[in-house]
Structure 1
Amino acid sequence: MSETNSCTVDAATLYIVPTPIGNLADITQRALDVLAKVDLIAAEDTRHTSRLLTHFSISTRTFALHDHNEQQKADFLIEKLQAGNSIALVSDAGTPLISDPGYHLVNRCRQAGVKVVPLPGPCAVITALSAAGLPSDRFSFEGFLPPKSKGRRDCFQALAEDERTLIFYESPHRIMESLADMLAVLGPERDVVLARELTKTYETIHGAPLAELIEWLKLDSNRIRGEMVLLVAGHRAEKNALPAEALRTLALLVKELPLKKASALAAEIHGVKKNALYKWGLENLE
């Protein structure tokens, strides 16, 4: 792979530029060069981005592109790109599109044949995962949790048997309610890591079984302040455990059939041993 220390900005190109999630020193030299050289910066919040640009003495013009106007403004930006302008896309912090605006613009650019160049850089998901001490070979980023309790519980229920490390964003004013919903669905022993204020002065990364984590947070209100990432250990099935779907099927069938026949049918449907299902049924359904 060839290497270069120079940074050129091509015409008619959209650059995806990550910005710091807290510590301004984390911005890359390439990101600074691109922001200074492009014709326009599409920013989630121009006021927020202007503070970053002022700090690094960058005077490039900005354009507001956020959740509420992205689909309407995408055509305007594509026209500019097709006319030869270079544009940098930034969010308030971290990598654009990762629970931030930008998907519609990037999708439309690719459909229109406009060149899209991604820059590597800060991302709260990866930063938290790298220090959490949870398995990182397979993980699922689930974004922000639903705002209502039922939505959160439905989300946790759908993911309860997922064996990957699960990663969520959550806000300070909902963190305790969200953890209570998680406790109700996933139980007290599931390992959870809370990473807050990453790269900032009061950065905290604390992991514990869920019930213990909740008690730890209750001890100090400062522990629930700031930007938060929740990392949840994946489901670990007991050895030789029967699939939950097979147990649900058996529970339904046994309402209409003798346990022995219901066990045989459920075993055939799910490819498990009928004797194991029958034994489970004797212990739990009769």
Structure 2
Amino acid sequence: MGKLYLVATPIGNLQDLSPRATATLAGADRILAEDTRRTRVLAQHVGSGAPVTAIHEHNERARTGRVLEWLAAGESLALVSDAGTPLVSDPGGVMVREAIRAGHEVIPIPGPSATTTALAASGLATGRFLFLGFAPRKGRERRAWLRRVRDAEEPVVVFESPKRLAALLDELAGLCGSDRPAAVARELTKVHEEIRRHGLGELAAHFREHPPRGEVTVVVGAVEAATGEVATDREMSEELARAMLDEGLPPSGVARVIAAGCGMSRNAAYRLAQELASAEDRSA
């Protein structure tokens, strides 16, 4: 029977590719990857001429059957992500579970990970952490996700796109408090690597003024006992906002009052007012 290798690849610096990962990729019969063009460059770097097959969220279930056929035929397959360790906010989970269920050997080849690299360099590590991947884009799922960050008793590691980073930090500052410690790690292991460690409010202001480029990982410090007051402030802000909306004040006016009186940023206050106004419209 064949073997399925889960191969960690560099997150920016090719020198971080381990000798074991190099040998595994060079010896694989096939390489499975989300971005085939990017992975072909890596394959050429290690001297592999193996075919590279696309595995992504839209075709993973359909391709899993074929992968099982290759394994049953005794082939050696290497699954990689675009960068870092496979299956961390990447497709492949369905395939790995089915391979295990079918009795095939699944072998991890450890290596680089943006998640643990950012956490280690953040200055916020406590011995355990919570990884939440990318934030949902909108609605109830996003609000629940943000509350998990706010209430976490361990550091939280998340991913975000450069275009949405400032908005996320601003929203977190409004919910968690602008002084909640955090770190933003950008372009890790690359030439323009940057790690900024400040409160959420200061980080939000910086990245509004200086839009980032490249891969971004955010680490938010654990909630402490004293930050229970932040949740209370949020609840008070919501109650005040609802009362003003009930009186007919538009969301823009509500946002001005909340921002001035509750220490919330103007953008976060406006989003709160809009969310509450939309919820009232739906329930009307």
Normalised TM-score (structure 2): 0.77
Q: Does 1:232 align with 2:220?
A: yes
Structure 2 stretches lacking a partner, 5+ long: 236-284
Counterpart for residue 215 of structure 1: 205
Counterpart for residue 277 of structure 2: none
The alignment-based identity, stated in percent, is 42
- CA deviation digits over 1:229-256, x for unaligned, max 9? 00000110139x79x89xx9xxxxxxxx
Q: 1:183 to 1:149 in 2, by over 3 A?
A: farther
Distance 1:71 1:156 in 2: 30
- Per-residue deviation, 1:175: 0.6
Counterpart for residue 148 of structure 1: 138
CA contact (8 A) 1:196 1:228 kept: yes
Q: Does 1:179 align with 2:169?
A: yes
Q: Does 1:78 align with 2:56?
A: no
Cα root mean square deviation, aligned: 2.1
Distance 1:33 1:211 in 2: 46
- CA deviation digits over 1:17-48, x for unaligned, max 9? 01111111110111111111111111112111
Correspondences of 1:114-263 after superposition (within 5 Å): 114-148=104-138, 151-221=141-211, 224-238=212-226
Return the structure number with greater helix share. Answer: 2
Match of 1:160, SS state, is: helix
Normalised TM-score (structure 1): 0.76
- Per-residue deviation, 1:121: 0.4
Counterpart for residue 52 of structure 2: 62
Q: Does 1:39 align with 2:38?
A: no
Distance 2:140 2:169 in 1: 13
Distance 1:102 1:197 in 2: 24
Q: How many corresponding residue pairs?
A: 232
Query: 2:115 corresponds to which letter in structure 1?
Result: V
Q: Compare CA radii of gyration and give the structure with the larger one.
A: 1
Q: Which runs of 4+ in 1 moved over 4 A?
A: none
- CA deviation digits over 1:193-215, x for unaligned, max 9? 00000000110011111112222
CA contact (8 A) 1:99 1:143 kept: yes
